[in-house]
Amino acid sequence: MVTESAADKAIRIMRQRGGTLRTRDALALGIHPRVVYALRDAGLLQALGRGLYRLAELPPLENPDLVTVARQVRRGVICLISALAYHELTTQVPHAVDIALCRGDERPRLDYPPLRVYWFSEVSWSAGIETYRLDETEVRIYSPAKSVADSWKFRQKIGLDVALEALRMYRSRPGFDIHALLRYARICRVERIMRPYLEALL
């Protein structure tokens, strides 16, 4: 039987931590799993994924999938279609969250949302990471220029048409940075392939 004080303590701690908590963090903070499950069953907590809970009293998340992945896959970086969609550089609708991991990292096990994992070299994985605060959560997403370069690197997996569209859309926006784009293209080893298409747009 869960006492009211235990439930109140759990809710108070969750509010102090932004309203979201992982089960293992709850244990470290002195919240028993049965309290978490009881709050969930009572409709006071919303399960975002395996072992990740959020207070139901909070406003709906604007980016629930990205927030869930950011909290569950700490070394993951949002990339490719998901990053392009976030930066409004594609008309594609992501049906899974694309994340980049460094070669050698452990493959994440996540029930929801669906993931597409891409393995990057250390140099490519660490380049161009920007941090955005979404729904009170820090989410790491590759910059627009890096996302375009990545789309060319993985064009055989996501489609050349997606890479071309991303390049065209990035070229037409006010913040277009050719130097950053070419720098990331060199890191991704696609400068020679991408440059003729880029020059045709200049």
Structural domains of the chain, count: 2
pLDDT for the residue 2: 55
Examine the domain organization and report whether 90 and 148 are in the same domain.
yes
Examine the domain organization and report whether 44 and 90 are in the same domain.
no
User: Dihedral through CA 113, CA 134, CA 138, CA 183, nearest 10?
Assistant: 90
Q: What is the number of other CB atoms lying within 10 angstroms of the CB of residue 137?
A: 18
Quick one: pLDDT band at residue 24, thresholds 50, 70, 90? confident
Examine the domain organization and report whether 111 and 175 are in the same domain.
yes
pLDDT for the residue 5: 82
| 72-83 pLDDT tens trace | 898 999 999 999
- CA 47 from centroid of its chain's CA atoms: 18
Distances (CA, A) of 51 to 32, 88, 186: 13, 31, 40
Examine the domain organization and report whether 18 and 39 are in the same domain.
yes
| Measured distance CA(103)–CA(120) in Å, rounded | 6
Structural tokens at position 12? 């108070």
Examine the domain organization and report whether 80 and 22 are in the same domain.
no
Query: Which range marks the domain in which residue 43 is found?
Result: 4-55
Q: What is the number of other CB atoms lying within 10 angstroms of the CB of residue 83?
A: 30
Which of the listed residues 33, 55, 77 is the one where a domain comes to its end? 55
